[in-house]
A and B are shown apart, each in its own frame.
Chain A
């Protein structure tokens, strides 16, 4: 007894202009059948091709005409063969007539079901509608469409039509316009939906491959006040289609057992802590709720008696400016409020409020309790959904909003409070502006990757693999299909089309691995967990760890003018960060170089090495940040030349072990040292600059 069983006739255009997208047509249709094999085993599917070389359909035999249309498969309950058929569609060389094909499809359905099964019959046409259709024997094409629509309506047949055109050839523009008009006429005269797609990716998402019978969440009054109510039905508008739950497999069943389920059951036992062998029966179990270190036991009956029990109902709290509710506060999947079907008053009332809200850019706030006995309330925002189709009433979308408890008000630093070295300059901003402007996925209303037509790549891949495995149990997981890659990766065509913009963007911005971060142990900055020191962590987070701890810091809020002996690293960084004059950077570098030299000169048996290295690290980093690599490289090589033959030579070994190298071009573009050379320092001494 399959009450919801559905019959679908797929009308697939396999004519020459469709060849480029046929593989996607194959995969979307086999997906449809595959899902039926899992979720709708008694659904029936027929397949009709148009644009084929041969002709094979009953109408042609009975009345003639209807050429280049092949009934590939009569309407019958889905099976694995249907998938095979659909995965190997023949390529035709003729121009199919889609109106003829629709008639053939209707004929199949009528012959199979007669007057029964109304409303559960669907024709699904996939074509590019690029070629003119034949003029009918009598009357106009429009009349013909009207007659067909009439027939579809009396037999309760729906039409889903997907028009695929990747790029528009200029020549056929007039023909296509005529065809589009004819198809649109269907949607006015019968229950039909016409969808236009322009890429193979959206084709995969354009067809609903799984039928889910919609269930109302709520039927009743939308209460504007106790006296003014509107009858509405509430459905889910979005709901995630989850990855199928697989069963656990057991190989224990003997091979002779024909009815083996191969399933594994999971059993739970609750045992007392004191006596691990004692199983506690369900009726002796009680729920405990944690409250701090305490666990509060409450039986379900007690809980039932005291818990929050709101009255069922959907109540308006008021209207508010749409700008008061930012988009990121939407919490869950989305509901839709439709006026009670057939209730003219409700349709008009919803329409009036929706249109008023749209005009004034308002949102409405509702409090909803969908069911009696529901343990919580929902606060959410109602947004107008003005229908673009004449025969569909206006409706509302409803999004759930968070409660106080659901929001964490973390504080983040303002972008303006960041040091200027983190701020983009004018040129960089312009490069970003261009990128945002040019990398446009919705040029002149031709939006790509619309959620409505984008398939879920994981599910696509799973069902594809499932089919593959049913034939070839040891098959490998296939790589992601090209059309699906358009979802997970940037489209190379788009990116190469805007190559100059992207190159310009890349040229303007520089990224470097943070050298300090690499070196410093995790502990070092974990030890300084401070909420507002985001900046510190990045730029000078380790400063205070490095310096010896028993020294007091210099008063750091006054401007540092020279590098002292106590906190050279900090002084240096403070000077580098001074923005009041550009001279401070060069002075800081100069002073730091002198400081390091002093340290080394006065070093006895390496006692100052660690200090010197700290200073060099800071100097190196500063030079990278300020784009002064040459200053650093020259200095380091100078040091080396000066002391390589003295007893300080071992200092340079220490340097390479701390990966304190020359600054390479990769780190700062102004440098003329390659990465290779940088790494080899100081082993290879023949360096020129």
Chain B
């Protein structure tokens, strides 16, 4: 959390932080284009006591969530929110049926702000009165709201060059046939126009992505219209499986995942044998999220400060240039290294991933871990045939329950890695685990500590649980079973609180938000009689009947004080008694403290619970400070 001055250096800590941050520096501009036709407000699912859930709500929800993530992680990206099929219009082109949503102090396409997030989450409440909803494409009118929407979105994305910025339009709709209500030549004409508009937009380097919402009883049919608009073909369409739409939450989940732009860390070569060297992309799917970098401000003006670094020779105090020589003290000498030598030492491989062989999965122990894993997925971009080899190895590794041992010769942190094949896992909410391999960074022998051996019993066997005790423990674990536990079902309470506070402060709110800590154990569940009984039985089985009593006794024994604490107490008492026999104020007044012995001085310090370390002068000055002189 602190500004790490070391991080500015070109040494290990720098490359380390690189591992945790993603390299991809391209900015992203996104226009969220949300269909606001009455169809979007139809109930997608209705609960009797609750307000009906609408597709519109789901879309807004997704966007809010993604903005929240973005403001934390990638706040330089710019976004715009735009509704179409609206009654009101608000856009620069003054086109009908398109409403660009915005808040104060912000361009239409700009970085997300706290206010935008907040107001967007309330937009539904007054949507009907402020913006209004209606079908934009109706027979008898030449109005084409989809066309208009694409035009507005394209215009919003005009700024920034396509080279340095990736531009996307994310289209949320539940209407798979937007021109279904009209017929004849008008229809063909409007379809042609709209497709042409989309085509032009894509030619400008803007990608259009569709996030379809389906009804429970009818699936969104991409091939009616949108496949053409998006330029999907053959296999793509089947791959572009719109959400089954059984449950709205699942759908929201799926949409949310889709909204992420996949960012690779880098492309590396994976050398398998002889000349066979394939190419894979690496992705950082799991990295700890930190509260973000801080910057130093002037507390008077609240303006950011400039950090200046200077190098000073410790011997002469002279200002020097940033040195390029380093040294390590060794055998009372100074061994100098140039930058070049240091990088040569670290450079023990060629940056590629080298296959060393395969091992059964149970050779990968639970303690063989150091850092978060990295995901690898093949690419045929430069080497055609990579994917085929990868798939074949992937299948074989899954079939034989083996992982590949490889050496990842990255330049700054060469390491042995285990490549564990992961089969694709899907659920109703889409892909849960992507197919590919996970690269697990293995420790070296120097990194593993043999702690267990510290408390080795000599010439005596360590006690082991009996079968009955194990049986009781099994019963207990069956009782307290988290059936559908999934990794990362918890939000990080510290982080949630951090951002909650920041948001409140950014909006100038007084009240600090309450964050629920989901990570606490389920006390209510644990107090169910079945569990309490299982716990009790296990406790008696391993601890015996009178455990609590025994513990209490030991605690009581301890309370009366171990030998050391008794001694300490006695010393404090003596000190207090002795200390009382001096007139400290008087001694201090007359400068006579220095005539006392250290032992006598310590009486005062001990009696007043002050540290008793240091030389005599230190003791005296401590007494004086305490006396307030």
Contact = CB atoms under 8 A, between A and B. Distances in A.
Contacts of A280: 298, 305
A191 B345 contact: no
Interface string A392-404: 1111010101111
B39 interface: no
A452 interface: yes
B297 A330 contact: no
Interface string A168-212: 000000000000000000001111010000000000011011101
B316 A253 contact: yes
Contacts of B147: none
B328 A422 contact: no
Most interface-central of B5, B420, B465, B486 (chain A CB within 10 A): B465
A247 B459 CA distance: 47
Q: Is the interface of A mostly helix, strand, loop or mixed?
A: mixed
B494 A375 contact: yes
Interface in B315-356: 315-316, 318, 320, 323, 325-331, 333-337, 341-342, 344-346, 348-349, 354-356
Interface residues of A, number: 237
B538 A352 contact: yes
A385 B448 CA distance: 15
A439 B382 contact: no
Nearest to A530: B207
A273 B456 CA distance: 61
Contact of B366 (A236, A285, A383, A448): A383
Contacts of A566: none
B295 A338 contact: no
B140 interface: no
A621 to B, nearest CB: 9
A392 B460 CA distance: 9
Nearest to B424: A414
Contact of B314 (A264, A467, A528): A264
Interface stretch (A3-11, A133-141, A343-351): A343-351
A413 B390 CA distance: 14
B166 interface: yes
Contacts of A461: 345, 348
Contact of B402 (A392, A405, A436): A436
8 contacts: A320-B483, A327-B420, A327-B438, A408-B284, A422-B387, A455-B444, A487-B416, A553-B228
A220 to B, nearest CB: 14
Nearest to A578: B234
A480 B75 CA distance: 44
Interface in B234-254: 234-240
Contact of A423 (B333, B391, B521): B391
Contacts of B231: 544, 553, 556
Which 6 interchain pairs have the tightest Cβ spacing? A352-B465, A205-B445, A328-B438, A356-B473, A432-B392, A246-B326
A373 B71 CA distance: 28
B326 A531 contact: no
A458 B346 contact: yes
B608 interface: no
Interface stretch (A96-104, A504-512, A589-597, A628-636): A504-512
A546 to B, nearest CB: 12
B52 interface: no
A440 interface: yes
B563 interface: no
Contacts of B71: 291-292
B485 A324 contact: yes
Contacts of B431: 409, 411-412
A241 interface: yes
A511 B288 contact: no
B294 A293 contact: no
Interface in B477-497: 477-478, 480-483, 485-495, 497
B501 A428 contact: no
Contacts of B495: 376, 403, 405
Contacts of A261: 314-315
A411 B430 contact: yes
A458 B297 contact: no
A651 interface: no
Contact of A505 (B114, B273, B371): B273
Given A260-B315, A509-B389, 12 more contacts: A240-B447, A246-B327, A246-B337, A266-B5, A284-B298, A288-B294, A292-B112, A327-B420, A439-B358, A453-B445, A526-B163, A553-B199
A257 B334 CA distance: 14
A555 interface: yes
B262 to A, nearest CB: 4
Nearest to A475: B341
A395 B315 contact: no
Most interface-central of A190, A298, A459, A490 (chain B CB within 10 A): A490
Nearest to B489: A404
Q: Is the interface of B mostly helix, strand, loop or mixed?
A: mixed
A687 interface: no
Given A307-B497, A377-B493, A538-B381, A356 B470 contact: yes
B369 A408 contact: no
Contact of A287 (B273, B296, B483): B296
A489 to B, nearest CB: 6
Contacts of B499: 291
Contacts of B454: 214, 341
Given A225-B535, A352-B472, A529 B261 contact: yes
Contacts of B371: 331-333
Interface stretch (A49-57, A62-70, A358-366, A598-606): A358-366
A391 B391 contact: no
A589 B447 CA distance: 59
A163 interface: no
Contacts of A412: 262, 377, 431, 434-436
A433 B416 contact: no
Interface stretch (A310-318, A609-617, A673-681): A310-318
Interface string B440-473: 1011111111111111111111111110011111
Given A341-B455, A376-B492, A488-B409, A401 B487 contact: yes
A274 interface: yes
A648 to B, nearest CB: 31
Given A280-B305, A375-B494, A517 B381 contact: yes
A276 B422 CA distance: 55
A581 interface: no
B535 A228 contact: yes
A252 interface: yes
A168 B349 CA distance: 32
A154 to B, nearest CB: 11
A316 B448 CA distance: 26
Contacts of A263: 313-315
A231 to B, nearest CB: 10
Interface in B404-443: 404-405, 407, 409, 414, 416, 420, 422, 424, 430-431, 433-436, 438, 440, 442-443
Nearest to A356: B473
A666 to B, nearest CB: 11
A330 B285 CA distance: 12
Contact of B506 (A294, A344, A450, A503): A294
A273 B305 contact: yes
Interface in B41-70: 69
B87 interface: no
A206 B388 contact: no
Nearest to B426: A414
A641 interface: no
A450 B501 CA distance: 47
A299 interface: yes
Interface in B265-301: 272-278, 283-289, 291-301
B434 A411 contact: yes
A382 to B, nearest CB: 10
Given A291-B71, A328-B286, A505-B273, A418 B309 contact: no
Interface in A622-649: 624-625
A393 B456 CA distance: 8
Contact of B306 (A272, A510, A557): A272
